[in-house]
Chain A
């Protein structure tokens, strides 16, 4: 006891520093997760919410039902497509733009930074209205431009296959800004001497890019990939405001499925089960990424 107290006293500052955040995270992140796990084994719905005595345990029923639910399966498949196409696009495009913007320091390049950052701070309601116009099948700007070069109008949001990619394009557009800034920062951390040395050795521009820049961006790439990955597994806002998951559930993501069952259809037990599955997938994927990452470590920016 005495010993423990002494120990606590020795470490009181670090504990004091982390205490407020840990208390808040514990209250509003950890406890809710346990409540959600608990709810996932019940039939909680609106009557349960109104009066807790109406809640009944139903064991693994929700999970069993979930994996035979065609809509949920479809939402898992859609989420997979979103992640597989979306994450690499975001990482590659934002890296490319950052490398381009990093070529200059004039006011023009500074303006580019602001312009490319803008989509990520534009309100989602405005984004939805504007893209709704761009994608409009009847008179949308994109179809009008295609018309000029003699291409038939495309049903951007009505065709079950195309709609998925339309949403991905829009989400990539919105995600580039923040990630570009992260890459840009990493690029500015690379000492200029590396490039000077390479130029003396006669390395071409392309060689400098592939042998110096990209390898040295490895940490930033890892960081961007992991946050983007987590974000895309939880893909939610874009389908909610653009397609509500349609047509024929082809843009229904897992997070949207959970929102619909929980908040629109009041099946909280079932929705909680879905969210536990989503949570498990995120943890699994993140752990795999960390494992892969562990293999290489060198000087990185």
Chain B
């Protein structure tokens, strides 16, 4: 939309955005810089912006004091299964968008209703259920409860309603089965929305903390976030290493976002923010 934009006007816009981005950035930059400071500098009364004695010590501790490989693996497994959940969301969104069937609206509203359930309500009941199903201390117990989510189904449905019915009809006439239509026609069209949901799913899985901790009766099931919080002692302190951990965990997400941002915005655009 850069048509007919006067230079003065544009300067004002850029200045405003620059000022805002300083406010948005400071905490983030602070975190990264603090991760290179020794503890005494982080807790100093008037901390300096730049590290005075830059150190990699915090990162070294991060990798030596936690069972990094195991935790990384578990985190990746959780991310992987949340991506399977993504396909389940997509399938449900597709059915709600493109099929007529008895009970469709009721079921759809029920699904949306789950968005409103506060997690504090369900934590103990879900734990008791998983315990009955003998799923505590299993990867299944960790990933199943959060595998699908109403917000995702909602976005997929919004998006899929915009796919022309003729297109799907044509595929069917060509003799493609419903499953094939879904995997080979619908999913490729839905790429942008997968990008949107993909990054949200990745963030969720990558940061998963409380649930893995509660389900795991074995450190072999711990995630990166849990490992990180183990480094913090009973009486506080250890801010520097927490900053290192937080920086380490956020970097992959930022990279992912930078690569995918075009798709993400497209995804929301087509997905029926209209």
Interface residue ranges, A against B (CB under 8 Å): 7, 11, 13-15, 17-18, 20-22, 24-25, 27-33, 35-36, 39, 49, 97, 100-105, 108-110, 112-119, 121-123, 125-127, 129-131, 133-134, 138-139, 141, 144, 173, 176, 181-182, 184-186, 188-189, 192, 195-196, 199, 205, 219-220, 223, 227, 230, 234, 236, 255, 258-259, 262-263, 268, 271-272, 275-276, 278-279, 282-283, 286, 300-301
Contacts and interface: CB of A to CB of B under 8 A. Distances in A.
Contacts of A110: 261
A230 B150 CA distance: 13
Interface in B215-274: 229, 239, 242-243, 245-247, 249-250, 253-254, 257-258, 261, 264-274
Contact of B91 (A18, A130, A230): A18
14 contacts: A11-B101, A14-B100, A17-B182, A20-B92, A21-B92, A28-B129, A36-B122, A116-B24, A121-B203, A126-B242, A188-B269, A199-B4, A220-B273, A283-B116
B89 interface: yes
A42 to B, nearest CB: 12
A140 to B, nearest CB: 10
A139 B148 CA distance: 45
A296 B26 CA distance: 41
Contacts of A192: 1, 3
Contacts of B46: 139, 144
Given A28-B144, A31-B125, A223-B273, 10 more contacts: A7-B102, A18-B96, A30-B114, A33-B125, A122-B246, A185-B266, A195-B1, A219-B273, A236-B120, A262-B120
A27 B265 contact: no
B94 interface: yes
B145 to A, nearest CB: 4
Contact of A301 (B16, B17, B273): B273
B1 A29 contact: no
The 10 closest A-B pairs by CB, nearest first: A185-B268, A32-B125, A126-B246, A17-B95, A14-B99, A35-B125, A32-B122, A275-B121, A130-B27, A186-B273
Nearest to B115: A230
A125 B207 CA distance: 11
Nearest to B239: A129
Contact of B242 (A24, A109, A129, A268): A129
Nearest to A280: B116
Nearest to B49: A141
Given A14-B95, A103-B13, A279-B121, A301 B111 contact: no
Contact of B27 (A131, A227, A286): A131
B165 interface: no
B173 interface: no
Contacts of A278: 118, 121
A97 B16 CA distance: 9
A32 B254 contact: no
A22 B264 CA distance: 26
Contacts of B267: 185
B60 interface: no
Nearest to A36: B121
A29 B122 CA distance: 7
B173 to A, nearest CB: 16
Nearest to B256: A121
Contacts of A36: 121-122, 125
A114 B258 contact: yes
Contact of A182 (B10, B45, B268): B268
A25 B112 CA distance: 10
B36 to A, nearest CB: 14
Given A122-B250, A126-B246, A24 B273 contact: no
B129 A22 contact: no
Contacts of B107: 18, 22
**Chain B CB within 10 Å — which of A112, A127, A283 has the most?**
A112
B249 A123 contact: yes
Contact of A24 (B21, B118, B144): B144
Contact of A184 (B21, B110, B114, B265): B265
A192 B1 CA distance: 7
Given A24-B144, A32-B121, A272-B121, A122 B28 contact: yes
Given A119-B27, A131-B27, A279 B117 contact: yes
A21 B117 contact: no
B116 A230 contact: yes
